[in-house]
Structure 1
């Protein structure tokens, strides 16, 4: 994983952590359910974006790691299985 991508992911995760702390505070303060759920939806979307970035990077690394720069059937199947698990 490139240093740039790693830094971007870490920054996004720290932002997500801050949002989760905010949600916790909202629950403690008995804020409206609608407002809490809106924040939870934002965190879910952020986590999905981080996950997709990691999957994309993994897929590139899998293909580039092969000797001829081409993924094998098994490589592609492993990436597809990972993606399926992620989106479930």
Structure 2
């Protein structure tokens, strides 16, 4: 089971909301909305995705990584590398 399993519905709901935001952006373009208004809405989308990503990372650290650390060994080392790489990707984006 993944660390986010108990919050799966909330994550799915947030992602559907973001999906709606992106569809709204396309509609703004179709409707020839003012550039700055479109750009403002575009700026909100990465922040919403980042919020989901940070929540998932938190769940991963609390559940998956903590479980692996308790077991120890090479699997724990791999989970730490995996988490570190994921954090690095988030920071770069």
TM-score, normalised by the number of residues in structure 2: 0.79
Q: 1:63·1:69 contact (CA, 8 Å) conserved in 2? A: no
Q: Say if 1:67 and 1:50 are closer, same or farther in 2 by CA, change over 3 A.
A: closer
Q: Distance in 2 between matches of 1:60 and 1:54?
A: 10
Aligned to 1:32: 34
**TM alignment of 1:3-82, pairs within 5 A:** 3=6, 5-66=7-68, 68=70, 72-82=76-86
SS, match of residue 31 in structure 1: coil
Runs of 4+ in 1 over 6 A off after TM superposition: none
Normalising by structure 1, what TM-score?
0.82
Structure 2, unpaired ranges of 5+: none
Higher helix proportion: 2
Q: How many residues align?
A: 87
Distance 1:29-1:82 versus aligned 2 partners, 3 A rule? same
Is residue 68–residue 79 contact of structure 2 (8 Å, CA) maintained in 1? no
Q: Quote how far apart the aligned CAs of 1:72 are.
A: 4.1
RCO higher in 1 or 2 (8 Å CA, sep ≥ 6)? 2
Is 1:85 aligned with 2:67? Answer: no
CA distance, structure 2, for counterparts of residue 75 and residue 41 of structure 1: 32
Question: Which ranges of structure 1 fall in alignment gaps of 5 or more residues?
Answer: none
